């Protein structure tokens, strides 16, 4: 049943996206080129509306299955929160809302799902036992939802980038949900994945339509929620697994924050130094840049799956190697600043000392 529902969502997105494209042009929800944008012509956005409508249709069809699953969280707060996010995204794609107004919409959506029971209530410790978060459960969940929602939005800078990375993340989460027997997350994850892949047919380079903030915020919000639902009961490194799966958008966001602090710029200031911008400056084509980032996201997903089955010390080794690799790549491509290379400088000094 869930497979047929996912196929239906995929086909529905294929049908809806051209209709949404016409709507975007008609109401003026278009993206105009500027010095910060990569595209050179006016493009319709609002494409995320097709993903949302397809996902909602799939979830309504799957409602009997979701209700039958033994789960402490109702689907309705998630649907209401997602709808608030969509309204926020549509208004932004039409009128370019201020960051404060967009954040207000995200806060409202996060509060609704938290009140609906979506919370990181405890962290399983690697040496056994668990750490009950108590009063910290709500703020930790809140900042996770807001952070991931915006992280997906920040990587939406090239044709097919946010949709492709989100698809890889959703495939990883769904795979791990299958391994863990979490039917609730499997259903939502596969429906969302099918809807997003359907949109990729129109969004991969050269794109015919952008997902806009409508899609990026919606995917970020939904991924943040199901990642909490999917990994709250895992036995080892429970808090790190969703962070590793989302390694590409999270690391890009963290380096953007560091970059703006180092350069003494406001955290909300836009720039052209994100991961995809750096790869383009190195000479990679638009398509190759997107595929490279897809590959990075897939590696993070594989690492998360391996980590979920790892022992304590092998898990520590995997995490250490990931952190070193992230720092090495960030310095190599100039993600913070072309002259900011502490790891490379350390390796050079070490090599010179041995000589």
Q: What confidence score (pLDDT) does residue 287 get? A: 87
Q: What confidence score (pLDDT) does residue 340 get? A: 65
Whole-model pTM over 0.75: yes
Quote the CA–CA distance of 290 and 276 in Å, as a whole number: 7
Q: Please name which of 284, 291, 86, 277 lies closest in space to residue 204, comparing C-alpha atoms.
A: 291
Q: Can you tell me which residue has the tokens 């494209």?
A: 21
Question: Got the DSSP string for 57-79?
Answer: HHHHHTHHHHHHS--SS-HHHHH
Element (H, E) at 295: helix 286-308
Q: What confidence score (pLDDT) does residue 58 get? A: 96
Please identify every stretch of the chain with a pLDDT value under 50, giving residue numbers as ranges.
234-236
Q: What confidence score (pLDDT) does residue 235 get? A: 46
Backbone phi, psi, residue 321, to 5°: -65, -40
Q: What confidence score (pLDDT) does residue 271 get? A: 67
Q: What is the pLDDT of residues 154-204, one digit of tens each?
A: 888 788 889 999 999 999 999 988 888 889 999 999 999 999 999 999 999
Max CA distance (Å), the chain: 69
Quote the CA–CA distance of 215 and 5 in Å, as a whole number: 21
Quote the CA–CA distance of 35 and 39 in Å, as a whole number: 10
Q: Which residues pair with 44 in a beta bridge?
A: 30
Give counts: helices (H), strands (E), the chain: 15, 4
In the chain, the number of structural domains is 1
Task: Please check if 153 is assigned to a binding site.
Answer: yes
Q: What confidence score (pLDDT) does residue 284 get? A: 85
Quote the CA–CA distance of 249 and 39 in Å, as a whole number: 21
Quote the CA–CA distance of 146 and 305 in Å, as a whole number: 24
Residue 244's domain comprises: 2-354
């Amino acid at each position: 049943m869930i497979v047929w529902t996912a196929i239906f969502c995929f086909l529905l997105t294929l049908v809806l996206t051209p209709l949404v494209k016409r709507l975007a042009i008609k109401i003026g929800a278009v993206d105009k080129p500027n010095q910060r944008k990569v595209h050179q012509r006016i493009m319709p956005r609002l494409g995320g509306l097709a993903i949302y409508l397809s996902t909602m249709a799939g979830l309504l069809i799957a409602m009997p299955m979701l209700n039958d699953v033994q789960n402490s969280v109702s689907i309705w707060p998630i649907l209401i929160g997602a709808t608030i996010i969509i309204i926020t995204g549509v208004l932004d794609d039409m009128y370019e809302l201020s960051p404060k107004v967009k954040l207000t919409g995200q806060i409202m959506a996060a509060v609704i799902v938290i009140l609906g029971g979506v919370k990181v209530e405890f962290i399983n410790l690697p040496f056994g036992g668990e750490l009950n978060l108590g009063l910290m459960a709500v703020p930790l969940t809140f900042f996770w939802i807001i952070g991931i929602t915006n992280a997906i939005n920040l990587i939406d800078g090239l044709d097919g980038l946010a949709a492709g990375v989100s698809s890889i993340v959703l495939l990883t989460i769904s795979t791990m949900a299958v391994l863990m027997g979490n039917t609730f997350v499997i259903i939502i994850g596969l429906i969302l994945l099918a809807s997003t892949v359907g949109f990729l047919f129109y969004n991969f380079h050269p794109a015919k339509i952008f997902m806009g903030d409508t899609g990026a915020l919606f995917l970020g919000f939904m991924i943040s929620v199901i990642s909490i639902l999917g990994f709250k009961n895992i036995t080892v490194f429970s808090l790190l697994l969703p962070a590793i799966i989302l390694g590409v958008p999270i690391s890009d966001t963290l380096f953007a924050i560091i970059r703006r602090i180092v350069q003494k710029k406001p955290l909300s200031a836009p720039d052209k130094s994100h991961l995809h911008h750096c790869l383009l400056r190195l000479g990679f084509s638009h398509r190759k840049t997107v595929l490279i980032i897809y590959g990075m996201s897939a590696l993070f997903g594989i690492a998360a799956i391996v980590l979920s089955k790892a022992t304590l010390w092998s898990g520590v080794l995997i995490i250490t190697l990931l952190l070193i690799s992230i720092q090495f790549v960030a310095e190599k491509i100039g993600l913070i600043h072309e002259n900011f290379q502490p790891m490379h400088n350390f390796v050079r000094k070490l090599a010179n000392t041995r000589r």
